[in-house]
């Protein structure tokens, strides 16, 4: 579990979409709560992450804590970046279910109130564009 947590965090830190997707099961679900509908499967997850990186190309994660169990990982971090000309930083937490050494489900929770105070209303992600 620790190895998967490290690889997954490293892939997100590098903003390597293909490396991130490769660490998910074929039928994995990625849900960015309050921002998008759940993305299911590699293609949908890839489209969601790509849309997020188009919106915030300088996305950055500063790890704070990790909790690892026999079939789950919980990561806490500060997420920062720039949307348009507006920089932001907000708390984030990922709850990750693991099956067969891969991410089976990832639920991401962000401090959207802090984000909106800094950037304004949440934009609509252009998924699949």
Q: Where are the domains of the chain?
A: 2-119
Q: What are phi and psi of 55, to 5 degrees?
A: -70, -40
Per residue of the chain (129 residues), give pLDDT as tens: 899 999 999 999 999 999 999 999 999 999 999 999 999 999 999 999 999 999 999 999 999 999 999 999 999 999 999 999 999 999 999 999 999 999 999 999 999 999 999 999 988 777 865
Q: Can you read off the two tokens belonging to residue 81?
A: 């970046």
Q: Can you read off the two tokens belonging to residue 123?
A: 């934009």
- Find all residues with CB under 8 Å of 122, minimum gap 6, and list them: 34, 35, 112, 115, 116
d(CA 119, CA 32): 18
The CATH number, out of the four listed (2.60.40.420, 3.40.1170.60, 3.10.450.50, 3.30.2130.10), of the domain defined by the range 2-119: 3.10.450.50
SS3 79: strand
């Amino acid at each position: 579990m620790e190895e998967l947590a490290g690889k997954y965090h490293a892939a997100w830190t590098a903003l390597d979409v293909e490396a991130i997707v490769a660490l998910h099961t074929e039928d994995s679900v990625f849900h960015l709560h309050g921002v998008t509908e759940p993305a299911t499967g590699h293609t949908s997850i890839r489209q969601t992450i790509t849309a997020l990186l188009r919106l915030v190309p300088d996305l950055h994660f500063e790890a704070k804590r990790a909790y690892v169990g026999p079939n789950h990982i919980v990561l806490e971090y500060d997420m920062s970046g720039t949307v348009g000309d507006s920089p932001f930083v907000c708390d984030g937490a990922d709850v990750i279910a693991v099956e067969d050494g891969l991410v089976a489900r990832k639920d991401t929770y962000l401090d959207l109130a802090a984000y909106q105070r800094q950037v304004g209303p949440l934009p609509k992600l252009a998924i699949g564009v």
